[in-house]
Structure 1
């Protein structure tokens, strides 16, 4: 009997030791950043949350594991967590107080799980949640009380679930709400009680059959997105009427996939409504009647995606007296002519990038007396030199500006160039970039390239900051692989913060692959939208010669950031 008791004690000790050892192994398999106090435990095969990480952890990334249950004790060890990611697990059971220990939780994501049960206000104790994501987790109801406890400015994502009704009576001020790809069939008083004040509401890709005008008009929403719903023309009219009656809506995105003609009067319900921005994607449209845009006279920014249109006449925009920015990028427009009817609107910005122009008539821009910026990039059928020449003349004609050079001499820096890249791009850097620099700028020989050449004895991001701070120029090599690397994007944020602090255009992006706009992370889009320098590696030899000339020109001078000038 005594021996039996002794064996039992030994078994308990061995079991506890093994659990402790397993926890240590689990923690060791996570990549921990001791300066940021982040633990990266993604795709490690965990069935339980590791229990031996930093006790003062601020960020925990547990996506792509095999978690199924979250208990009241799961996060007790990490009360200082501000960021928690649980995406792509098999979570189907959450105890009532699972997240209660996390009083400072700021960013929460539990997207792409098998079946997330109804989340309740009582599960959370944090009052500072600013990013809440439960997308694609088979959510059927989302209680209004949890919406009421979200912090001001929160981004709430409920995309890709099974929501058909909401009853949110709170009036708190949120940022963006994503309800796209659910199963809403009606936007009516019975199915859509929504009193929150938000910047953007996305209702795309819902099978909407009925829209009640009074519900749209009651929204306290600045921008509403209703794309890829396949709604009937009669319901589009109700949608537009609701926007016109709204005191808050200042812009909308709309896709009408089943329409082939924009007829006179289509936008008439919007007549008299002033709107900041309208984005219209109608990929099946092949004709616009003469007064097709009648009703949009109060729109200041218009973006059109009309993939079947090969020609567009300036006259179709007549009457749009408030229009200042027109974007027609990524269409299939072949010709643009102002011979028959010149432009009769006061455009400041015109974007014709990504079309199929083979030539542009000399009269194409007649009437655009106020034009300041024109984008004809990515029209690959146009001769590159011709486009550059015309843009140069337009700049001299409409703009005329003086570049402001930075006074700091290159010799005052420890390095000439810092090159930031993903290891997948080593081959391109070694075969193309390094040889070109040696040949064309041999005196730029103080180069720090890649992670292995960063300063030793420093935390990783501190070493990245040191390299760019001590370099005259920093080149970022951008590829699909780089954009998938979380550490690469953290490097990008670190360098961008430094560049913004010093106010100098000392950072150049080099795209070694063709990357679509919608694949670009927000920070890179922000960088490009601010007219910052970037280059795209071309396939042809002539284009590559031009690429190196542009790169060397940008490398040899630092300009002060000037946000009042158009992009180069």
Structure 2
């Protein structure tokens, strides 16, 4: 916040309205600053004309779609990103980029380039990425990228290359080489690496390679770990046994090659020579059948993922995978397997995921017939098949199965013990089937998600269907034929949902519940957050229908027959965020309808009969409302909606008015015209009261409100300090033992202050505090994002050091987003901001402004030694204070 604005905030209360007006104008900052390096270039619209578009902040220059035949000579010398795509360049010369030594990324895709001179990129020492996709290159100079030490990506897809280019590379961080969609006939990888090689992906797909010889990939033996080599969509029919010898490659993909059985066996024999291969894709390789001898070469190999999808496999013989004891994922989708037998997967002692979707499966053999399932499966997918029945005890042996997918079948019969033995099942997807009653799921007490959408269900037993599912969190029953009697026993006043205490999402949309729902229908669902009652022709809602559902955040009532809503229908929904009432014949809204839904952000009233919306009705929502849908309806274009039209013109909320017209209650000139053409000033004359209110007091109030708005973060900070001084603080005692007390997040420019001032003061005041300072202390052995998420989740408080350099750092903002996700998940105030610099509101990143808008505390560092003792005392108190949140941050 600018310091002069704070001074004005207090001074204005004692000044006359003339001085107020003067100081308000003086407080505005000059927005005219530009970056010195690019300020002389005149940017144009990126999609028009022949001039290049320059983005000063990112140092990006866009010259695409300009009809250029040469590289422009007037590009700013400090440009870092240059796009010359979709032009008519034919040749790249040595001098084309000689004056652009700061270039990091060049895009030359979809030109007609047929030649590049050897020194074209020699002086671009910072170059990381070159995109030459869609040109006419048939050969490249071997020394073309020999001076580009920082190169990470080379895109040569869709050119006229007939061989892998003979390139000499000195780029240890090169990660991606794209050679797909050329006319390459040999797998001979002729690129030479002068330094270490860390390539992640080599794409040779969509070429004309017919075989892989022993010496073809020898140059890749210097690479420490290649994630994937993609040979998809070639003509490969054979691969020599030593072709992968000595390679450090994790995965190979041979999708859509005419390998047949012989070529598949050769690939497995070659894989043994590359001990780090963990996944192989053999999709559409014309493999006719499965036999145990195919997998003999893999007996001692640690293969973890194998995809045999989209082949001609028609059966799975018993013990056919006998040699794949280390396999963890097996894909057999899109084959012609009609019968699934547990014995077919014997000896897969490490298998966790099995995919059998779209295989034309018509029956499951039971363990009683062939023996129990042996693999320790955690996910089993049988979707898109022709199953008509789930036999009794069909999955015995799958004690650790978590995900079971049976959607898009023709299942009609489920026995009470069909899911017997699934002691760990959490997700059951059965949508798009033809289920008939009785349906019972009580044997799966661990179930969290149950999807029965569009399954033809026309009858449920309120007493037994969901009995025992105390852990269920999501239940989808939409697009069925349920009636009131299926979810409510009128004689015993029993709801089918009575045991679902942890249910958070319930979808009942598009059913036959065409009468008023009983008031106790959702009683006890205290955890419910999303309720979908769309498309059920409900004529009215019981006033007590949502009573007690205090955690509801979304209610959808679209496509019903509601003509009015009881004034107190939403009075228990203080956390409601989204409400959908579209396509209902509602004619008016009561003034008391939204008085207690002050967090409502999304309101949809499209295609309703409401023609007047009063300020008293919508007023309670205005501070929180972000989206208001008034499309496809008729509104009165008269003085009754005067305030609404003015609010729409001045509000920052998104108001949808597509197809909204002036109703018959409007002046004759406006009737049938778009609502946006309604100008209240022309039809609603000024009143004497408006003139009488123009006074010194009104001007001063407006000025104060403006300054309060521009200083809202600073006011929040002062209120937080006042609260600490008067009320003090209280520590929340939590059962959880956190690994770290304070996690300090900062940008490199602030490291000195953190190490020399912040950390010593914390350790002096709290000697036993457990600190985690910066990225250098992140846990080892994890990906960086995973490590950051782990630290934030296991820290009692995360302190973000906010400075001018930090708010421009994408990595800093990424860690902030992860912290906000943790706040939403944990529902506790676990983030504290410490501002090092005076930052104006408009310069703050969206995430920080969003968090501060929820009245979250923050601290401001003061370099004055006289104020520092107070700062450290407040900091010590702040990191101890934490509160439970009763809302979700909508980012």
TM over 0.5: yes
Cα distance change of structure 1 residues 209 and 345 upon mapping to structure 2, 3 Å threshold: closer
Does the CA contact (< 8 Å) of 2:117 and 2:141 recur in 1? Answer: no
- C-alpha separation between the residues in 2 aligned to 1:156 and 1:494? 30
**Aligned mate of 1:503, from 818, 821, 825:** 821
Shift of residue 273, structure 1, vs aligned partner: 1.8
CA–CA separation in structure 2 for the residues paired with 1:308 and 1:56: 59
* Mapped partners of 1:495, 1:337: distance in 2: 53
**2:172 counterpart of 1:151:** yes
> What's the CA shift for 1:247?
2.1
Alpha-carbon distance in structure 1 between the residues aligned to 2:650 and 2:99: 37
The answer on whether the counterparts of 1:118 and 1:141 sit within 8 Å (CA) in structure 2 is no
Matched, 1:94 2:116: yes
Does the 8 Å contact 2:132/2:156 carry over to 1? yes
**1:369 and 2:399 aligned:** yes
C-alpha deviation, 1:153, in angstroms:
5.1
Aligned position for 2:214 = 189
The DSSP-based 3-state class of the residue aligned with 1:235 is helix
Quick one: distance in 2 between partners of 1:56 and 1:384?
66
For structure 2, the 5+ residue unaligned runs are 1-41, 410-430, 449-467, 474-501, 505-526, 530-550, 554-575, 579-601, 610-617, 630-648, 654-810, 826-885
CA spacing shift, 1:25–1:234, aligned 2, 3 Å:
closer
Q: Pick closer, same or farther for the CA change 1:182–1:433 going to 2, 3 Å.
A: farther
Q: Separation in 2 of the partners of 1:37 and 1:353?
A: 49
Task: Give the corresponding residue for 1:446.
Answer: 625
Q: Which residue pairs with 1:45 in the alignment? A: 67
Alignment length, in residue pairs?
Answer: 440
SS in 2 for 1:233: helix
Q: Which moved more, 1:248-257 or 1:391-400?
A: 391-400
> Which of 179, 186, 189 matches 1:166?
189
1:84 positional shift: 1.6
* TM-score under structure 2 length normalisation: 0.43
Structure 2 SS opposite 1:315: helix
C-alpha displacement of 1:237: 1.7
Give the Cα separation in 2 of the matches to 1:247 and 1:264.
Answer: 21
CA distance in 2, matches of 1:126, 1:312: 55
Q: Give the C-alpha shift of residue 116 in structure 1.
A: 4.6
Residue in 2 that maps onto 1:120:
142
Give the alignment partner of residue 292 of structure 1, picking from 311, 320, 330: 320
Q: Which residue of 2 aligns with 1:222?
A: 250
Q: 1:264 to 1:109 in 2, by over 3 A?
A: same
In 1, are the aligned partners of 2:44 and 2:53 still within 8 Å (CA)? no
Cα pair distance change 1:58/1:363, threshold 3 Å: farther
Cα distance change of structure 1 residues 447 and 217 upon mapping to structure 2, 3 Å threshold: same
After TM superposition, give the deviation of residue 367 of structure 1 in Å.
Answer: 1.4
Stretch of structure 1 that moved more, 339-348 or 38-47: 38-47
Q: Separation in 2 of the partners of 1:253 and 1:156?
A: 19
Matches within 5 A, 1:407-556: 434-435=604-605, 446-447=625-626, 499-504=817-822
Cα distance in 2 between the residues matched to 1:308 and 1:351:
15
Measured in 2, the distance between the counterparts of 1:360 and 1:234 equals 37
Tell me, in whole angstroms, the C-alpha distance in 2 between the residues paired with 1:331 and 1:505: 43
Query: Structure 1: which 5+ residue stretches go unaligned?
Result: 1-19, 418-431, 457-492, 508-555, 562-568
Question: 1:357, 1:238 → 2: CA distance?
Answer: 36
Contact in 1 for aligned 2:64/2:84 (Cα 8 Å): yes
1:314 is matched with which residue? 342
How far apart are 1:299 and its partner, in Å? 0.6
Look up the SS of the partner of 1:299 in the other structure: coil
Native 8 Å contact 2:306 2:329 kept in 1: yes
2:44 and 2:54 in contact (8 A); partners too:
no
**In 2, Cα distance between equivalents of 1:409 and 1:347:** 35
Structure 1 equivalent of residue 232 of structure 2: 204
What is the CA RMSD across the aligned residues, in angstroms?
4.8
2:593 aligns with none
Distance 1:114 1:267, change over 3 A: same
Which of the pair has the greater relative contact order for Cα pairs under 8 Å at 6+ separation? 1
Q: Distance in 1 between matches of 2:291 and 2:650?
A: 62
Q: What is the TM-score normalised by the length of structure 1?
A: 0.65
- Superposed CA deviations along residues 90-119 of structure 1, whole A, max 9, x for unmatched, are 111212221223221222210111225314
Q: How many angstroms does 1:178 deviate by?
A: 1.0
Aligned to 1:267, the other structure's residue is in SS state helix
Distance 1:237 1:455, change over 3 A: same
Instruction: Give the corresponding residue for 1:382.
Output: 433
Tell me the CA shift for residue 303 of structure 1.
Answer: 1.9
1:106–1:370: structure 2 CA closer, same or farther, 3 Å change rule?
Answer: same
SS at 2:447's partner residue?
A: helix
Q: Is the 8 A contact 1:286 1:308 kept in 2?
A: yes
CA pair 506-162 structure 1, distance change in 2 beyond 3 A: farther
- Contact kept, 8 Å, 1:118 with 1:142, in 2: the verdict is no
| Secondary structure of residue in 1 paired with 2:332 | strand
Cα displacement (A) at 1:169: 5.5
State how far apart, in whole Å, the 2-side matches of 1:255 and 1:266 are: 16
The residue number in structure 1 matching 2:354 is: 326
CA apart distance, 1:21: 13
Per-residue deviation, residues 436-483 of structure 1 (Å, max 9, x unmatched): 7999xx987611599x99979xxxxxxxxxxxxxxxxxxxxxxxxxxx
Could you tell me how far apart the structure 2 residues matched to 1:183 and 1:436 are? 55
Q: Retained in 1: the 8 A contact 2:50–2:67?
A: no
Larger of the two Rg values belongs to structure: 2
1:352-404 per-residue CA deviation (whole Å, 9 max, x = no partner) reads: 44545554345332211011233445665326999x98698552599969999
User: 2:379 is matched with which residue?
Assistant: 349
Instruction: Go from structure 1 to structure 2 and tell me whether the alpha carbon gap of 1:115 and 1:446 turns closer, same or farther (over 3 Å shift).
Output: same
Contact 1:27/1:51, CA 8 A, preserved across alignment: no
The one-character-per-residue Cα deviations of 1:258-308 (angstroms, maximum 9, x if unpaired) are 233212322222123222221222432222222332322221122222332
Give distance in 1, aligned partners of 2:380 and 2:608. Answer: 39
Identify the match of residue 69 of structure 1 among 86, 91, 105. 91
1:135 aligns with 2:157: yes
Residue in 1 aligned with 2:280?
Answer: 252
| 1:76 Cα offset (Å) | 3.1
User: 8 Å contact 1:506–1:559 — kept in the other structure?
Assistant: yes
- Structure 1: how far apart are the matches of 2:119 and 2:628? 48
- After superposition, the C-alpha distances for 1:409-454 in whole angstroms (9 at most, x for unaligned) are 99xxxx968xxxxxxxxxxxxxx99447999xx987611599x999
Q: Judging by fraction of residues, say which structure has more strand.
A: 1
Please name the residue that 1:518 is paired with: none
Counterpart Cα distance in 1 of 2:819 and 2:110: 37
Which of these residues, 81, 84, 87, is aligned with residue 103 of structure 2? 81
Pick from 273, 282, 298: which aligns with 1:270?
A: 298
Distance 2:176 2:148 in 1: 15
Answer yes or no: is the 8 Å Cα contact 1:503–1:560 preserved in 2.
no
